[in-house]
C-alpha cells in the first residue's frame, strides 16, 4: 500500500529502527519547557497590564514589529528583540522557538489535548510548501527594505521608538485572534502535525532555521547510541532524530527546536548538547543508502520552486492593487539562492513528486488569494491577516492533495486511517470529505469576494484615470477663458469621482466666475463635507458668500479659516475688509497686522 500525505507510525517504527517496541520513558525536559513557556505568557500578560494601567509602555516584543524598520526605518523594541533572537540562534541553535514562542506553546497545548483524546498528530509532507515560511519572511521584512533602497530614499534609520501608547494597534481584533488560535493552534496541528504552523506558515521560523544551520551548538551523539528510536518517538519538531544521529552524528534538521525531549528520554544517555561543526558544514558519517535524484528531476524541482516563489511574491504584492512582476523577479533571485544554500540536509520520506507539488502550489496560491483580507465574520470590520491567510492556504493545499489522492489511489491513507479501500470511501473517508467540503465552500466564497474586490478596485482605478483626464481638460479650458467648457469638464470629473476635491473646488470657482454663486457655494459646501478642516476651502466659500452679498456667512467662514490656520493671510484680509465696513477699525488693524506677519 503506497504511503500518502502524513503517513507515519506513532513510535518511530521505521524499517531501520532495530528496537521499536519499548515505550520511551517520560521526558524530564517537557516539564521545564512548559514552565518556561508559562513564564513567557505571564511576562506578556504583565506587559499588557502595564500598558493598560499606565497608558504607555515599551513597544511590543514581537518579531513582526520589525516590519516598522523595514518599511520606515523605525527602531523599536521588537526589532532589537528579533535581532538578538536571530543572533542567539546562530550561536546556540533554535532554542527560542521551542522555549519562548507563544505559538509553539499553543501548538504543543493542542497536541497534548489531542493525545489525551487518543489522537496523535503526525507530520504531513507538503513538499515545496516548505518554502512558504521563507517566502513570508522575504515579503514581510526584506521586500520593504529593497523597495526603499531601489525606489525610496535609502534604508537609513528614521527614528528610535521604544515606547508606545498604542500597544494594541498592530494586533488583530478578538475575532481574528481567536480564529488564529483555532486554525494555527488547532486545525494545523491536527491535520498537518505537531508543528504544522511552524513548518508551513511561520516567517520567523524561516530565519531561525537559516541561523540554526550556522550554530556550532547542537544536539550530538556518542557511541553509546543503540538506535532504539525513542528520540524520534518523542520529538514534537517532526525530526527523524534516530536517523540523523546515525547518519550525521548530530541533528542537522533546521526544524529542530531544541526541546531536548530526545536528550531526556535516551535510555543510554547518548544524546547531548555540545559544540562542533555547524550543520551547514557537517559531513555525513554514514553514506546514503540510495542514489539521489537525477539532474533532470532536480532541475524540474528547482524550476517549480522558483515559479512558485515568484507567483507567491506577485500575488502578495498584488494585494495592494498593483501587479508588480519586475519587483517580484528582484525578490526571486536572492530568495532562490538562499533557499538552495540553506535548504537543510534532512531527509523527507514520502515527499510529494513533481505532479503533486504542482497541485500543492496551485491550491496554495488559490487559498492565499481567497483568504488574505477575506472578511470572514459579518459585521466585523477586519479581514484575515497575512499569517492566518498563510495557514488557511496551507490547509487548502492539504485538502486538495488528499482529495486528489482519494480519487487517484484505490487505497488512500491519512494519519494511518484508511480513507479509501478498494476504490471506495471508508467511514473515515466520508468524514474527511464532510470536513473538506465546507472548507472548500469557504474558500470559494473567499475567491468570489476577492474577485469582486479586484473588479471594484479596477473600476476605481479607471474612474481615477477618467476623472484626472477630465480635470486636466477643465484646467486647459479655464486657461483659455472658456468657462462653459471648463465647467463641463470639471462636472464630468466630479460625477466620475465625487471625492476629487481639486476638481470640485475648481468647479465651484468656475461657477462663481460665471456669476452662478448658488451653484458654486453648493460645490464648496460639498467639498467641506468631505474635508471640513481645510482652511483654503473655508476662505474660498467665504469669498463666494461675500461676492453674492451674504456678508455674515462670509465672515463666519473666514473666521473658521483663520482659526484653523492662524497664518492664513487672505483670510485675515477678508476679515479686515468686513471689519472696516462695519466701522470696527481696531479689528481691521488687528487682522491686517496678522496678514503682514512673516510667512503670510
Q: What is the pLDDT of residue 10?
A: 35
Q: First vs last Cα of the chain: how many Å apart? A: 85
Q: Which three cell numbers stand for residue 270?
A: 547518548
What mean pLDDT comes out for the span 483-504? Answer: 92
Cα–Cα distance for residue pair 533/369, rounded to 1 Å: 39
* Cell (9 digits) for 498: 465625487
In 3D space, the residue among 408, 307, 317 whose CA is nearest the CA of residue 357 turns out to be 307
Instruction: At 182, give phi and psi (nearest 5°).
Output: -70, -45
589 Cβ neighbours under 8 A, 6+ residues apart: 576
The confidence score (pLDDT) of residue 2 equals: 33
Q: Crossing angle, helix 501-513 and helix 535-548, to 10 degrees?
A: 20
What pLDDT score does 242 carry?
92
pLDDT beyond 90 at 290: no
- What are the chain's domains? 29-157+172-286+300-425 (no CATH), 517-600 (1.25.40.10)
Report pLDDT digits (tens) over 373-428: 999 888 777 889 999 999 999 999 999 999 999 999 998 888 788 899 988 999 99
Q: What span, in angstroms and rounded, lies between the C-alpha atoms of 258 and 237?
A: 9
> How much is the pLDDT for 287?
75
Residue 15 banded pLDDT, cuts 50, 70, 90: very low
Residue 186 has pLDDT above 50, yes or no: yes
Vertex 468 angle, CA 466 and 474, to 5°:
105
Per residue in 535-575, pLDDT (tens digit) is: 999 999 999 999 999 999 999 999 999 999 999 999 999 99
Average pLDDT of the residues in 347-357: 87
Residue 520 scores a pLDDT above 90 = yes
What is the pLDDT of the chain when averaged over all its residues?
89
Q: Which of 64-78, 118-132, 213-227, 280-294 has the lowest mean pLDDT?
A: 280-294
Q: Give me the helices (H) in 187-250, please.
A: 188-192, 196-200, 203-212, 230-234, 241-248
pLDDT: is 191 or 460 the higher one?
191
Strand-pair partners of 10: none
Cβ partners under 8 Å of residue 454, min gap 6: none
Distance of CA 157 to the CA centre of its chain: 23
Q: Which pTM value belongs to this model?
A: 0.80
Amino acid at each position: 500500500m503506497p504511503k500518502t500525505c502524513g503517513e507515519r507510525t506513532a513510535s518511530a517504527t521505521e524499517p531501520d529502527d532495530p528496537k521499536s517496541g519499548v515505550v520511551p520513558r517520560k521526558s524530564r525536559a517537557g516539564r521545564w519547557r512548559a514552565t518556561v513557556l508559562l513564564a513567557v505568557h505571564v511576562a506578556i500578560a504583565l506587559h499588557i497590564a502595564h500598558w493598560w494601567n499606565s497608558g504607555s509602555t515599551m513597544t511590543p516584543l514581537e518579531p513582526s514589529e520589525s516590519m516598522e524598520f523595514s518599511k520606515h526605518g523605525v527602531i523599536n523594541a521588537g526589532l532589537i528583540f528579533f535581532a538578538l533572537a536571530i543572533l542567539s540562534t546562530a550561536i546556540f541553535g533554535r532554542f527560542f522557538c521551542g522555549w519562548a514562542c507563544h505559538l509553539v506553546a499553543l501548538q504543543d497545548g493542542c497536541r497534548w489535548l489531542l493525545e489525551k483524546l487518543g489522537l496523535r498528530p503526525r507530520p504531513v509532507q507538503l513538499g515545496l510548501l516548505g518554502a512558504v515560511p521563507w517566502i513570508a519572511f522575504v515579503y514581510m521584512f526584506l521586500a520593504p527594505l529593497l523597495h526603499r533602497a531601489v525606489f525610496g530614499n535609502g534604508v537609513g534609520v528614521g527614528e528610535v521608538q521604544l515606547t508606545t501608547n498604542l500597544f494594541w494597534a498592530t494586533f488583530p481584533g478578538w475575532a481574528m485572534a481567536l480564529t488564529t488560535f483555532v486554525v494555527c493552534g488547532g486545525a494545523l496541528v491536527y491535520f498537518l502535525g505537531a508543528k504544522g504552523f511552524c513548518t508551513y506558515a511561520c516567517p520567523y521560523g524561516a530565519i531561525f532555521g537559516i541561523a540554526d544551520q550556522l550554530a556550532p551548538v547542537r544536539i550530538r551523539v556518542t557511541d553509546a547510541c543503540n538506535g532504539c528510536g525513542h528520540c524520534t518517538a518523542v520529538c514534537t519538531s517532526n525530526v527523524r532524530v534516530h536517523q540523523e544521529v546515525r547518519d550525521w552524528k548530530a541533528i542537522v534538521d533546521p526544524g529542530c527546536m531544541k526541546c531536548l525531549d530526545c536528550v531526556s528520554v535516551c535510555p543510554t544517555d547518548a544524546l547531548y548538547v555540545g559544540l562542533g561543526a555547524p550543520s551547514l558544514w557537517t559531513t555525513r558519517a554514514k553514506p546514503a543508502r540510495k542514489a539521489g535524484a537525477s539532474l533532470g528531476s532536480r532541475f524540474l524541482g528547482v524550476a517549480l520552486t522558483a515559479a512558485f516563489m515568484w507567483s507567491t511574491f506577485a500575488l502578495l504584492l498584488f494585494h495592494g492593487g498593483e501587479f508588480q512582476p519586475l519587483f517580484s523577479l528582484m525578490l526571486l533571485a536572492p530568495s532562490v539562492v538562499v533557499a538552495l544554500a540553506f535548504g537543510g540536509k534532512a531527509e523527507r520520506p514520502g515527499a510529494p513528486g513533481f505532479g503533486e507539488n504542482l497541485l500543492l502550489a496551485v491550491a496554495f496560491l488559490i487559498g492565499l488569494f481567497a483568504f488574505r483580507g477575506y472578511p470572514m465574520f459579518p459585521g466585523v470590520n477586519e479581514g484575515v491577516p497575512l499569517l492566518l491567510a498563510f495557514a488557511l492556504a496551507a490547509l487548502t493545499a492539504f485538502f486538495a492533495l488528499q482529495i486528489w489522492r482519494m480519487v487517484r489511489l484505490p487505497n488512500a491513507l491519512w494519519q494511518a486511517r484508511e480513507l479509501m479501500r478498494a476504490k471506495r470511501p471508508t467511514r473515515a473517508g466520508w468524514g474527511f470529505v464532510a470536513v473538506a467540503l465546507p472548507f472548500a465552500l469557504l474558500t470559494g466564497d473567499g475567491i468570489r469576494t476577492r474577485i469582486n474586490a479586484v473588479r471594484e478596485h479596477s473600476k476605481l482605478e479607471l474612474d481615477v484615470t477618467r476623472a484626472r483626464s477630465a480635470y486636466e481638460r477643465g484646467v486647459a479650458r479655464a486657461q483659455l477663458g472658456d468657462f462653459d467648457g471648463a465647467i463641463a469638464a470639471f462636472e464630468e470629473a466630479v460625477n466620475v469621482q465625487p471625492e476629487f476635491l481639486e476638481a470640485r473646488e475648481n468647479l465651484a470657482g468656475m461657477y462663481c466666475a460665471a456669476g452662478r454663486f448658488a451653484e458654486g457655494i453648493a460645490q464648496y459646501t460639498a467639498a467641506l463635507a468631505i474635508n471640513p478642516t481645510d482652511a483654503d476651502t473655508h476662505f474660498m466659500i467665504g469669498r463666494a458668500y461675500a461676492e453674492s452679498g451674504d456678508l455674515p456667512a462670509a465672515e463666519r467662514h473666514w473666521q473658521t479659516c483663520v482659526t484653523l490656520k492662524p497664518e492664513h493671510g487672505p483670510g485675515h484680509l477678508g476679515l479686515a475688509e468686513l471689519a472696516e465696513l462695519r466701522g470696527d477699525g481696531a479689528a481691521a488693524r488687528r487682522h491686517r497686522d496678522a496678514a503682514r506677519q512673516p510667512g503670510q
